[in-house]
A and B are shown apart, each in its own frame.
Chain A
Amino acid sequence: MPSSIPASGTADVTHTTQTVPGPKKNSALSDILSLLWRDKVALLSAFLLLIVLVCVVVGPWLMADKARALNLMARNAPPFSLEKGWMFVLGADALGRSLLARIIVASQNTMLIAASAVAISIVVGGLLGLIAGYKEGWISAVLLRLADAIMSFPSMLLAVIVLFVFDPGVTNVILVLAVSRIPIFLRTVRAEVLEIKERMFVTAARAMGARTDRILLQHIAPMVLPTLINLAALEMAFVMLVESGLSFLGIGIQPPEVTWGLMVADGRNYLGSAWWLSFWPGVAIMLVTMALNLLSNWLRIATDPVERWRLQTTVGKNV
């Protein structure tokens, strides 16, 4: 996916960056932050992800008891009512537990699973992709055919089989989802490398006798990274959805562990009578997906010296 785009979020640049860029900051971080400040959609996304991060870190510690407390009287209590206290502002589930508390507590597992699975597949898939792209011949062929084998095996089926062999704990769910997504990263990286390695600076480095691993990691990897980040943002959503689909089939994460995917899957039994059970965790998945995508699109431009002008100066009518 060779691409460079202003995020849909950066749409706002047209309106918000009409002003002359501010005085130059020394620190790159503050530079980025000031860029972020100008793009309100990206800013909002970052803010949302920050909130999620806080929930991930302190949520279970703060709310675990509230998320577990039964209250069969408040079963399926509807949202937007403060009668039972602000914990029930999103309503209660089939056991009368606060949906808000459960969404906050579930954020930890959800994010842990999605982020770890994607991180593992980025690192493994990325490295293998670098090798497959740079070293043609049998190594590349074997790696590609293995990737083909995994990709032709429906990931849902693979997950079901593996989770039947091993217990469906968080670690195993992460591993199986990671393995099933490695080929995507492998192929994408390889495609990029094939193109980049013919460029001038790589051939130059090679001519000067640089070692292969240096060329790969210092020259090529940074060029591939932006594409990977964009892909990773979409993959996060995918992993959350597959995990939810597994719960729908009854084989994903098992209670008392909880994830947003599991909440949607369990709540779907009540769609006719209490829509909020599956709606709010679904909204959580959606918001995180959007925030990640908008921010990753923005980040890609902000970190790309060639594209960055788009954010700093007035943007032309045609890009």
Chain B
Amino acid sequence: MTIRTSIILGIATAALMTAGQVSAQPSKAVTIVLPAGPDRLDPCETPRSVIGRIIKQNVVETLVELDYANRTTLPRLADSWEQTSPTEWLFKLHPGITFHDGAPFDAKSVIYSIERTTDPALTCITRTKYFDGTDIKATEVDAHTVKFVTGKPIPILPTLLAQLAIASPNTPKGKYTAQPIGTGPYTFDTWTQGEKVVLKRNDAYWGAKPVIEQATYVWRSESSVAAAMVETGEADLAFSIAPQDATNPKTDKVYPNSDSAMFRLSVDIPPLNDVRVRKAINLAIDRKAFLGSIISPKAELATQQVGPSVLGFNPTLKPWDYDPEQAMALLAEAKAAGVKVDQEIRMVGRPAMFSNSNEFVEAAAEMLRGVGFNIKLENLEMSQWLEMANKPFSPQRKPNIFLTMHDNNSGDAAFTAFFKYHSNGRQSELHDPELDALIVNAGTQSGEQRAAEYNEVFRRIYQDIVSDVPLFYMVNYMRVGSRLDFTPTIANAVELQLAKLTLKP
């Protein structure tokens, strides 16, 4: 008996001691918990948040940096730029920078990165999402000046270049790399598959020296576990924990994540081809009731696909009211006009699209049933969902209310309008020649005019066509441990600049 007791005591003591060691960290190292691990740490994949959050602006930098708060661009590796003709730009590079492997940062290395990223042998997301069809050519003017020539005028070239990470010229072409080498304030140290990525401070960095010396990235898909890690001091920062886990206002900070949730309506298929029916759907969903219940109270009601941080956002649009009586009246009116309003309509969701999205669609379906719709709810797995989201649409498809989530973190409406609403857009239900013309024209403008034309695009979609049910501009919760002094912003949807983390005194 005594032996057993002493064994138990021994184990307990060992446990306590080791647990103490686990939570104690070197003073200037941080551990960051991500919701999912990276697959490839290639510089040409930085627009994907699983990769961008680790290496973008930490290991690899861009010529131009986005300033989300002011919807503008800032110099980073490039000191300045000018547009010399509609299709020509000159970028002045910051002199005296070297890559982590010693290679100099100059015009040649920029050209190499552009060639590598736009190489058709790889399907880099930077190319396929932002540079596809731009026909961009870079040439050397002198060691620190690069000339960009584009096939057609691209007024937002600096915004596009904010997505393109510059990697060392020793990065192999034509195949992905797992060892990013850049110019950033941190060097890539190790990546243990399925376990962690470690970055170390680059003491030869060309800019201001950051405080944090080392960053370890781990990933936990269970939000409660990620939150627990910060609470117990095992980690310092957890990206996106679920609203119900964000229980401590001292550590849990909310930030907009540039995602907008929406239902897309199949406007060609009866009964959804009747605008009264589409309006009724909008009026029947009590969006406000979700805020603070299953959706974060900090989320905002949406009016259009793009959020307030995007150039082209129309601030004059007001969220739909919740008015079930009017919805029923509209339905009755449509019914009287011969529309088969009691036909079965599919509502399609996707598990884990956002925190509690399953509960959300169940509740929304119930609200629509409440005003007399006949809703069949379905949840599709990612790949099936994409098949339904993208053209070509199945010719036999049923009328559907399709849950989508769109993230536009590039700061410009061009990446949304064509894709979602132009007749040739891959996820567009619309084919309105006037709208098409508006969208195309807006894309060629810049500045105020650009914003005004996109405003009109979104007004038309919202007021005249009513092809969507705008829902929410989503937010994420980040749990920031007590050692750190940091407030997340919308930029953290795709990146986390370690240089901006500071330790509390």
> Interface on A for B, CB 8 Å cutoff?
68-70, 72, 75, 94-95, 163-164, 167-168, 250-251, 254-256, 266, 268-274
List the B side residues contacting A268 at CB < 8 Å: 224
> 8 Å CB contacts to A: which residues of B224-271?
224, 227, 242, 244-245, 247
List the B side residues contacting A164 at CB < 8 Å: 381, 383-384
Q: Are A72 and B363 in contact (CB under 8 A)?
A: yes
Q: Are A256 and B362 in contact (CB under 8 A)?
A: yes
The yes or no answer to B491 lying at the interface (CB within 8 A) is no
A163 CA / B363 CA spacing, docked (Å): 25
Q: Are B356 and A94 in contact (CB under 8 A)?
A: yes
Question: CB-nearest residue of chain B relative to A254?
Answer: B379
Q: Are B377 and A256 in contact (CB under 8 A)?
A: yes
Q: Are B362 and A95 in contact (CB under 8 A)?
A: yes
Q: Are B362 and A269 in contact (CB under 8 A)?
A: no
On chain B, the number of residues with a Cβ less than 8 Å from chain A's Cβ atoms is 29
Using known A-B contacts A251-B381, A255-B379, determine if residue A94 contacts B294 with beta carbons closer than 8 Å.
yes
State the Cβ distance, A275 to closest chain B Cβ, in Å.
12
List the B side residues contacting A273 at CB < 8 Å: 244, 247
List the B side residues contacting A68 at CB < 8 Å: 366
A254 CA / B377 CA spacing, docked (Å): 9
- DSSP majority for the B interface? helix
24 A-B Cβ contacts within 8 A?
A: A68-B366, A70-B363, A70-B367, A72-B289, A72-B293, A75-B293, A75-B294, A94-B359, A95-B359, A95-B362, A164-B383, A164-B384, A167-B384, A250-B351, A251-B351, A256-B365, A268-B224, A269-B242, A269-B244, A269-B356, A270-B244, A271-B224, A272-B244, A274-B244
A99 CA / B81 CA spacing, docked (Å): 62
A33 CA / B384 CA spacing, docked (Å): 52
Question: CB-nearest residue of chain B relative to A250?
Answer: B351
Question: CB-nearest residue of chain A relative to B242?
Answer: A269
B285-298 contact mask (Cβ, 8 Å, vs A): 1 or 0: 00001100110000
Chain A CB count within 10 A is highest, among B227, B293, B352, for B293
Question: CB-nearest residue of chain B relative to A75?
Answer: B293
List the A side residues contacting B358 at CB < 8 Å: 255, 266
- DSSP majority for the A interface? loop
State the Cβ distance, B324 to closest chain A Cβ, in Å.
13
A164 CA / B242 CA spacing, docked (Å): 26
State the Cβ distance, B312 to closest chain A Cβ, in Å.
34
The yes or no answer to B223 lying at the interface (CB within 8 A) is yes
B328-359 contact mask (Cβ, 8 Å, vs A): 1 or 0: 00000000000000000000000110011011
Question: CB-nearest residue of chain B relative to A68?
Answer: B366
The yes or no answer to B435 lying at the interface (CB within 8 A) is no
Q: Are A272 and B352 in contact (CB under 8 A)?
A: no
The yes or no answer to B378 lying at the interface (CB within 8 A) is yes
Q: Are B383 and A95 in contact (CB under 8 A)?
A: no
State the Cβ distance, B261 to closest chain A Cβ, in Å.
17
Excluding A94-B244, A250-B381, A270-B244, 4 further A-B contacts by CB distance (< 8 Å) are A68-B366, A69-B366, A164-B381, A269-B224
List the A side residues contacting B379 at CB < 8 Å: 254-255
List the B side residues contacting A272 at CB < 8 Å: 224, 227, 244-245, 247
List the A side residues contacting B383 at CB < 8 Å: 164
Question: CB-nearest residue of chain A relative to B223?
Answer: A269
State the Cβ distance, B296 to closest chain A Cβ, in Å.
13
A250 CA / B366 CA spacing, docked (Å): 22
List the A side residues contacting B361 at CB < 8 Å: 255
List the A side residues contacting B293 at CB < 8 Å: 72, 75, 94-95
List the A side residues contacting B227 at CB < 8 Å: 272
